[in-house]
Structure 1
Amino acid sequence: MSSIDTTSYYSSLTGSDTTGSTTTTSDNTSLDQVDFLTLLTTQLEYQDPTNPVDNTEMVSQMTNYSMLDEDVQQNENLETIINQLDSLSALSTSGYIGEEVMADGGIITVEDGSGSDITIDLQEDAATLGLNIYDSEGTLVDTLYYTDVEAGTHEISGEDLLSSANIESDGTYVAMAFASDADDASVEVYVKSAGTITAVDQDDSGNTTLTLDDGREVSITDVTFI
């Protein structure tokens, strides 16, 4: 690049003259198209007439700035799209409220002598399957036993639970399962129950947590919509 009169050039950029007088400068540290044209005009104004700026170099500068401006615009557009997607995601997940799902946790709701169902997911055949039933205070109410249960999913109705277990009052109960095979080795078993979504929360990573009417908080990836 050709040499220029740096004193005059930088005086123009900072808004000062050679006598020391100053003008107010902007706090904006980014360059827009007007800033670029101002710099370019100043560079042309103070270039050495005997050694002017090379046309190819000037075109290169303008091209580089144009590419930078396009990148900035693309980033702004991308940020706008992301914000719109976040808004749409929040809107769509809010539609889950009121939906019924099946989730981990053996919640039994008893009201007016009627109980809700639970589902047992047994990973292997079990010689013995047991259900400990606790009340809302964590007190063991009763233990139910089943024998020779095949692996798979088994639904136990609220009617069967109330007729078998010592549940005498309305309220919320929790069933926890345990199982063993013929050799008395432990068998994996899970208890699930239905619940209604009352709240939806989404973190910055896009993970969605559902709050159910019985107080359970579960990931949306761990539920089955009914």
Structure 2
Amino acid sequence: MIDATTYLNNVNKNAKPKTPSKDLNKDAFLKLFVTQLKNQDPVNPMDNKEQLAQLAQFSSLERLTNISKAMDGLTKTVKTVIGLNATGYIGKTVMAKGISVSKDGSETTSASISLPAACKSVYVDIFDKKGALVRSVEMGSKSAGKFDFKWDGMDKDKKAAADGQYRIVVRAESSSGKKVLANIEVSGKVKAVNTAGGQNILELEDGRKVLLSNVTRVVA
């Protein structure tokens, strides 16, 4: 038999101590202010200026709390509206920041590569899902600006690569031998719109996915 005292002692020993909150919300602030007034020395009361300063702090705290709540509500509304508007992309071809291309039979998706400076040599490397190099395409010298790239679907042995998704990496060098960072945009036709982690994601017909925020233009 276990008496009540033993039981309570065991519960208290196993209970995890609560960690006091470091945040002082407006209710706690008001309670603290009222308690301070109740327990002040009647012979030496709190100075009016000090009371006004504390009330001003309380007023600012409440305004900030209300603004924060309003902003949270506005953010949710904006995300909902953006998600609804994103459905308008379904059935349209978009260009978006990314490095993923796909191959289906003799068809491959195109990409647009942008160089911030003129380059004496440019290579586009194609990698499979496992990270193995499938093909390295020499593009020669390129001036600053955009140029289109479309992989012919062949591997380094001039054989047709397997259908699926691939990623492209651009290697570019300036005339002085410095590496030049290129921006890549890929194309695809939108099939559906999904939401994950607060982000709107466009699902393309070939299975690739791009963030709505990465879309740069609608092609058709």
TM-score calculated relative to the size of structure 1: 0.52
Are 2:206 and 1:210 equivalent residues in the alignment?
A: no
8 Å CA contact 2:155, 2:161 repeated in 1: no
Q: Which amino acid in the other structure matches residue 152 of structure 1?
A: G
Q: Which residue of 2 aligns with 1:168?
A: 160
Q: Which amino acid in the other structure matches residue 147 of structure 2?
A: H
1:107 is displaced (CA, Å) by 2.8
Deviations 1:62-110 (A, max 9, x none): xxxxxxxxxxxxxxxx9xx979877655433223233221112233322
1:186 is displaced (CA, Å) by 1.0
5+ residue gaps, structure 1, are: 1-77
Q: Which residue of 2 aligns with 1:105?
A: 98
Q: Which residue of 1 aligns with 2:180?
A: 187
Match of 1:199 among 193, 196, 199: 193
Distance in 1, Cα, partners of 2:208 & 2:179:
29
Deviations 1:35-59 (A, max 9, x none): xxxxxxxxxxxxxxxxxxxxxxxxx
Match of 1:147 among 140, 145, 168: 140
1:149 is displaced (CA, Å) by 0.8
SS at match of 2:89: coil
SS at match of 1:187: coil
Distance in 1, Cα, partners of 2:157 & 2:111:
14
SS at match of 2:166: strand
Q: Which amino acid in the other structure matches residue 154 of structure 1?
A: F
Distance in 1, Cα, partners of 2:111 & 2:150:
7
Larger radius of gyration: 1
Q: Which residue of 2 aligns with 1:10?
A: none
5+ residue gaps, structure 2, are: 1-69
**What pairs up with 1:57-136 in 2 under 5 angstroms?**
89-136=82-129
Classify 1:215/1:221 alpha carbon distance in 2 versus 1 (closer, same or farther; 3 Å): closer
Identity of aligned residues (%): 17
Are 2:188 and 1:220 equivalent residues in the alignment?
A: no
Please report the RMSD computed on the Cα atoms of aligned residues, expressed in angstroms: 3.3
8 Å CA contact 1:141, 1:166 repeated in 2: no
Distance in 2, Cα, partners of 1:142 & 1:163:
5
